[in-house]
């Protein structure tokens, strides 16, 4: 893992492209033998539009086969994995660059001219970060959805031993930046509880579950959302109960208790991770920008402000789509740069500010969480 990180700066996660391709190689899959070009999904959609085969920078970095020091595929690593080098596109498009024009067949079918097709931040988080309406260049963000991605923008990747030990990642961003962040198992736990209860014959809307959680007792139990047992359990509520039993806590029984446990645990983990980001970067952040669909869960936003004892600025919920448009607008000279685009986003989309509440109680609960749950998880 040390060599992988020193070459790529990418967090070790089981679904990274490098492991998928290596698995194909170990299985002697004919796919690798017969493949002509590896295109990520956004690359494939662009190919359908233009006929041009190009990889895009932000997505290429997440494969764990890209070397940020050379700004190219890590050809030696590709060889070490036994992967065919010829399938990797030599042309890597940067966000905001023209990646081709609509092909003649597409133009004929749609009766449109051959307009340019702009490569954007084609990893959805890369676009979402562009869509964060921060007023300063140094800011912390949380892209909140099924996954939670908490991080900051850096000009160069941060590939220290401590960053490796804490399993942080350096993914490509727009405007020559890197997204220094951590993947946290986000509202996946909430969504799976909801889905598993529905299978059990009990249907709750998201709003109903949030209301029940708000009415439940605080700080009864907590989990480490990143424990592997929550990745894809047979039954998420039972997995949470099993975790709480194993760690000597109150076992949540009602849906309200269960969702309260999930939301409080996420907020605790957000603070823990943000503090590590500050340690690694040597920076301090006044508050946290939350964006993405998860900000519709207002209880989670408030809990996050409470445990951070800092303001949380929530919005926009459709940050990925907005950031995508912003990169295209910059490329077409509608904005000078990302900062001017973010200024327009601030004035165009609503943000809600969450001010910390009950900070003393949350501080005490957080101290218990770090000393009991996270210490136990690290053993």
Which of the residues are catalytic?
A: 124
Of the candidates 317, 304, 279, 319, the residue with the CA atom closest to the CA atom of residue 358: 304
Say if residues 84 and 32 touch (Cβ distance below 8 Å): yes
For 379, other C-beta atoms within 10 Å of its C-beta total: 4
Q: Do you find a cis peptide bond into 316, omega within 30 degrees of 0?
A: yes
Q: In 1-14, which positions are buried (b, 16+ CB within 10 angstroms) versus exposed (e)?
A: eeebbebbbbbeee
- HSE-CB at 48 with a 13 A cutoff on CA atoms is 6
* DSSP notation for 126-140: HHHHHT---SSSS-E
338-347's contacts with Cβ under 8 Å and 24+ in sequence apart are: 338/130, 338/174, 338/175, 339/137, 341/130, 342/130, 342/132, 342/133, 342/134, 342/135, 343/133, 343/135, 345/131, 345/133, 345/316, 346/133, 346/135
Which residue shows structure tokens 């997995």? 239
What is the DSSP-derived secondary structure letter of residue 336?
S
What are the distances in angstroms from CA 86 to CA 74, 75, 148? 13, 10, 34
What is the C-alpha end-to-end distance of the chain, expressed in Å? 19
Say if residues 146 and 188 touch (Cβ distance below 8 Å): yes
- HSE-CB at 250 with a 13 A cutoff on CA atoms is 13
Q: Are strands 287-291 and 140-144 parallel, antiparallel or unpaired?
A: parallel
Of the candidates 323, 267, 324, 321, the residue with the CA atom closest to the CA atom of residue 297: 267
What is the DSSP-derived secondary structure letter of residue 95?
T
């Amino acid at each position: 893992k040390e060599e992988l990180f020193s070459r790529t700066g990418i967090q070790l996660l089981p679904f990274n492209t490098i492991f998928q391709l290596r698995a194909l190689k170990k299985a002697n899959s004919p796919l690798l033998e017969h493949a002509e070009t590896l295109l990520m999904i956004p690359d494939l959609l662009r190919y359908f539009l233009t006929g041009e085969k190009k990889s895009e920078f932000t997505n290429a970095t997440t494969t764990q086969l890209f070397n940020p020091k050379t700004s190219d595929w890590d050809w030696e690593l590709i060889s070490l994995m036994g992967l065919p080098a010829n399938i990797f596109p030599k042309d890597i498009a940067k966000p905001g660059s023209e990646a081709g024009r609509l092909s003649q067949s597409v133009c004929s079918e749609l009766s449109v001219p051959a307009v340019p097709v702009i490569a954007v931040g084609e990893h959805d988080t890369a676009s979402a970060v562009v869509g964060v309406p921060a007023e300063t260049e140094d800011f912390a963000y949380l892209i909140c959805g099924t996954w939670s991605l908490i991080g900051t923008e850096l000009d160069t990747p941060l590939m220290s031993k401590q960053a490796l030990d804490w399993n942080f990642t350096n993914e490509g961003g727009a405007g020559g930046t890197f997204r220094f962040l951590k993947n946290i198992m986000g509202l996946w736990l909430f969504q799976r509880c909801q889905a598993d209860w529905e299978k059990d014959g009990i249907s709750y809307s998201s709003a109903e579950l949030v209301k029940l959680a708000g009415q439940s007792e605080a700080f009864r139990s907590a989990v480490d959302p990143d424990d592997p047992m929550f990745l894809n359990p047979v039954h998420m509520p039972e997995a949470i109960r099993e975790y709480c039993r194993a760690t000597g806590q109150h076992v949540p029984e009602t849906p309200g208790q269960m969702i309260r446990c999930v939301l409080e645990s996420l907020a605790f983990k957000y603070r823990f991770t943000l503090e590590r980001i500050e340690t690694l970067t040597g920076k301090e952040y006044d508050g946290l920008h939350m964006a993405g669909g998860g900000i519709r869960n207002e209880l989670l936003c408030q809990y996050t402000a409470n445990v951070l004892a800092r303001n949380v600025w929530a919005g926009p919920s459709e940050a990925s789509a907005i950031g995508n448009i912003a990169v295209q607008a910059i490329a077409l000279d509608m904005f000078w740069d990302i900062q001017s685009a973010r200024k327009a986003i601030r004035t165009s989309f609503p943000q809600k500010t969450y001010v910390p509440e009950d900070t003393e109680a949350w501080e005490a609960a957080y101290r218990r969480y770090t000393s009991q749950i996270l210490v136990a998880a690290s053993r």
